[in-house]
Amino acid sequence: MAITVLTTAAMALRMGPRLGVPAREIDRLILPFVLLAFVGARLGYVLSHPAEFMSPAEILRIYHGGLTSHGAIAGGFVTLWWASRRRGLPLWSLADATVWAVPLGNIFVRFGNFMNGELYGDVTALPWAVTFPGEPGPRHPLQIYEMLLAVVILALTLPLVGRRRFPGQVFWSVVVLTSVGRILLDLLRSEDRVFGIVTLGQIPAAILIVIGVWFLLRKSRRSAQSARSAQS
């Protein structure tokens, strides 16, 4: 998590000025962004696993339970919204500059999950399967799958910074690609299903895909119309 924070901050400081956000504003946002991302991640876990918490005091015991990536995204976005309103900064440009926390988090945090022997997939006979201590049978190393997917997403979306057609394009491209990957990879996590083949993680991922695709299509059409109007 510490490496995720440091690399995300470095990326945001570098990308911010290219996207119209001064580096000094990014620097001022780092601490509240990290704090609210962790608060959101914790609250996301509490809301999705209420049976694990017998009293409100247990929410503050960070060694009990865990964090959720979707809660972290929500907490981070609240910070960006607050900054845009309070300091007059462009919300979607802020989001484009800081969204790297999502793929970078999936690289470094999932490595920690792998080393801890948690968030693995179903039993498989594939040659790269991993046997985790105390768990029956070799399993899909979903943590490694998510790390590789995050590297691919970074490779696909980093070039968008230089040819961005509208604010928010980078943010929603990263979020949609990550959410599609989450839905597909969670198909290999049958122990976490809440009904049918659906896991808890797939529900917010599906919602983000719908919102993101709608945003990208709407903005793309407006951008195309503006380009045609300028040519005429």
Q: So where are the chain's domains?
A: 2-231
Tokens representing 185 are 């990879």
CB atoms within 10 A of CB 134: 6
Q: How confident is the model at residue 98 (pLDDT cuts 50, 70, 90)?
A: very high
First to last CA, the chain: 51
Question: Which pLDDT does position 172 carry in this prediction?
Answer: 97
> How confident is the model at residue 91, as a pLDDT?
95
Residue 53 binned pLDDT confidence (cut-offs 50, 70, 90): confident
112 has pLDDT over 80: yes
* pLDDT, average across residues 170-199: 93
Maximum C-alpha span of the chain: 68
pLDDT for 151 beyond 90: yes
Q: What is the pLDDT of residue 196?
A: 86
Q: Helices marked H in 117-201 — which ranges?
A: 142-157, 169-185
Res 47: pLDDT = 82
Report CA-CA distances (Å) from 182 to 46, 120, 160, 204: 20, 13, 22, 10
- pLDDT at residue 58 in the model: 78
Percent share of the chain, pLDDT over 70: 98
Q: Do the Cβ atoms of 25 and 89 come closer than 8 Å? A: yes
Sign of CA dihedral 95, 80, 74, 210: negative
Task: Report yes or no: 182 and 153 within 8 Å, Cβ to Cβ.
Answer: no
Q: What proportion of the chain, given as a percentage, has pLDDT over 90?
A: 69
Q: Sign of the C-alpha dihedral, residues 76, 81, 87, 93? A: positive
What pLDDT shows up at residue 200? 86
The residue written with tokens 């490779």 in the block is 155
36-50, 116-130, 141-155: the lowest-pLDDT one: 36-50
CA distance 212 to 208: 6
Q: Look at 131-145, 193-207, 216-230 and tell me which has the smallest mean pLDDT.
A: 216-230
Whole-model pTM?
0.90
pLDDT at 198 over 70: yes
pLDDT in tens, 16-25: 999 999 999 9
Packed helices 91-98 and 23-48: angle between N→C axes, nearest 10 degrees: 80
Q: Which residue blocks in the chain are alpha helix, DSSP H?
A: 2-18, 23-48, 69-87, 91-98, 101-116, 142-157, 169-185, 202-231
